[in-house]
Amino acid sequence: MPSIQDLATQAGFVFEAQVEQVGASAVSGFPTSSETAVVSITSILKSSPALAGYGGLQVTVQLQPPVTLQAGQRAVFFTEGVYFGDGLVVREIGNAPAGLPTMEAQMSSAAQAVEDSDMTERLAQADLVVTGTASEPARFVSAPAGGGQVSEHDPDYFNVTITVETVEKGAATPGQTVQVLFANSKDIAWYRSPKIKAGDHGVWLLQNRDLSGKPVPGLAVIHPLDFRPIGDLDRVRALLKAP
């Protein structure tokens, strides 16, 4: 049987809810069966931005057999989305009793494990990892690839100068300055990329490719994990040393 930490790692949407009705569906476009239930969400423990607004609402859960939950019970549901129509339907990966004293700690541990895995990947891909402080941003002007028009999804790169304090990976020296690009665009393709301000002090995981693998016109912070607060330095160092 998977642990709560395993379930929390696998599930994209985790919430505590009260079962309102078993053998029911709150979504007209999704058929009712003995393995569907309508639940009212009381708190969200893990979510994507698209599902973060479902707190307090009813959703339909496609339960795993054998179904043991009954109307009136409260539980924590570990789920993934399966239907977005006139309501939300999620598929249960597992559930746990509500109110477990270790739930918050295990959820936090699972989230940390996922982020550590993602950061390890970003560190492996980075050309240069340094600590330092950013200058005032300025727009970076470059011609579109092939001389074409700027795409609606153009990153609108800005440039900052980083004064290097320590070098954690790659070829640089303390006191050196490094030019770093970041995507200033709020477009859906770039809104989660770091938006750098003058004085930002932290750990810079500098990449030479964007998230689709295309070259960028200089070292850049692209992924949300590519710029970390300076307090994460020990964690970064530990991940760099991990086998």
Q: Tokens in use for 199? A: 């004085």
Q: How far apart are CA 240 and CA 18, in angstroms?
A: 43
CA neighbor of 130 nearest in space, from 66, 21, 221, 194:
221
Q: Hey, where are the domains in the chain? A: 4-105, 115-241
- Per-residue pLDDT 10s for the chain (243 aa) are 678 888 888 899 999 999 999 999 999 889 999 999 999 999 999 998 889 999 999 999 999 999 999 999 999 999 999 998 789 999 999 999 998 888 878 888 888 888 898 999 999 999 999 999 999 999 997 644 444 444 567 899 999 999 999 999 999 999 999 999 999 999 888 988 999 999 999 999 999 999 889 999 999 999 999 999 999 999 999 999 988
Omega prior to 66 cis, within 30 of 0: yes
User: Would you state the pLDDT for residue 107?
Assistant: 84
What pLDDT score was predicted for residue 106? 82
Helix (H), strand (E) at residue 235? helix 233-241
Give CA–CA dist 56/76, Å, rounded.
Answer: 14
**Coil, strand, or helix at residue 143?**
coil
- pTM of the predicted model as reported, rounded to 2 decimal places: 0.67
Q: What pLDDT score does 151 carry?
A: 56
Domain 4-105 classified CATH 1.10.3720.10?
Answer: no
Cα-based torsion angle of the residue sequence 226, 231, 236, 237 in order, rounded to the nearest 10 degrees: 140
Q: Which CATH architecture has domain 115-241?
A: Beta Barrel (2.40)
Select from 198, 208, 100 the least CA-distant residue to 158. 198
By DSSP bridging, strand 74-84 and strand 13-22 are antiparallel
The reply to whether domains 4-105 and 115-241 share a CATH topology is: yes
pLDDT for res 142: 64
Q: Which residue has the tokens 């900052």?
A: 160
pLDDT of residue 181: 97
d(CA 165, CA 65): 56
